[in-house]
Chains A and B, each alone.
Chain A
Amino acid sequence: MSKVPADLRYTREHEWAKQEGGRVRVGITSFAQEQLGDVVFVELPKTGAKVAAHKPFGVVESVKAVSDLFAPVSGEVVEANAELGQKPETVNADPYGQGWMLVIQPSAAKEWNDLLTAAQYEEFLAQGAH
Chain B
Amino acid sequence: MKRTPLFSAHVEAGARMVPFGGWEMPVQYRGIIEEHRTVRAAVGCFDVSHMGEFEVEGPGALAILQRLTTNDVAALEIGQVQYSLLCHADGGIVDDLTLYRLAQDRYLMVVNAGNIDKDWTHVTTAVPADGARWVNASERTGLIAVQGPKAEALVGRLADQDVTRIGYYRFAQGKVANVATLISRTGYTGEDGFELYVAAGDTERLWRALLEAGRADGVAPIGLGARDTLRLEMRYALYGNDIDDTTNPLEAGLGWVVKPAKGDFLGRAAVEAVRAKGPARKLVGIEMADRSVARHGYPMVKDGAPIGIVTSGTFGPSVERSIALAYVGAAHGAVGTELGVEIRGQAKAARVVKTPFHPSRVKKG
Contacts and interface: CB of A to CB of B under 8 A. Distances in A.
Interface in B334-359: 344
Interface in A54-74: 59, 61, 63-64, 66
Secondary structure class of chain B's binding surface, majority of residues: mixed
Interface in A1-52: 37-38, 40-41, 43
Nearest to B28: A37
A88 interface: yes
A41 B348 CA distance: 14
A41 B32 contact: no
A66 B322 CA distance: 13
A63 B344 contact: no
Secondary structure class of chain A's binding surface, majority of residues: mixed
Given A37-B225, A40-B315, A63 B33 contact: yes
Given A38-B33, A40-B322, A41-B315, A61 B28 contact: no
Given A37-B32, A38-B31, A38-B32, A64 B225 contact: yes
A99 B322 CA distance: 21
A89 B225 CA distance: 17
B292 A63 contact: no
Given A37-B28, A64-B32, A64-B225, A59 B291 contact: no
A63 B33 CA distance: 8
A63 B314 contact: yes
B81 interface: no
Contacts of A92: 31
Interface of B: 27-28, 31-34, 225, 229, 290-293, 295, 314-315, 317, 322, 344
A95 B338 CA distance: 36
A85 B31 CA distance: 20
Contacts of B290: 41
Nearest to A59: B344
Nearest to B314: A63
Q: What range describes how many residues of A lie at the interface?
A: 10 to 19
Interface of A: 37-38, 40-41, 43, 59, 61, 63-64, 66, 85, 88-89, 92
Contacts, number: 43
Nearest to A92: B31
Contacts of B33: 38, 40, 63, 89
Nearest to A43: B292
Given A63-B315, A64-B225, A37 B344 contact: no
B225 A63 contact: yes
Given A63-B315, A64-B32, A40 B291 contact: yes
B324 to A, nearest CB: 13
Contact of A37 (B31, B291, B317, B322): B31
A91 B216 CA distance: 31
Contacts of B28: 37
Contacts of B314: 63
A92 B132 CA distance: 55
Contacts of A41: 290-293, 315, 322
B322 A63 contact: no
Given A40-B293, A61-B291, A63-B293, 13 more contacts: A38-B31, A38-B33, A40-B315, A41-B290, A41-B291, A41-B292, A43-B292, A59-B344, A61-B292, A63-B32, A63-B229, A63-B317, A66-B295
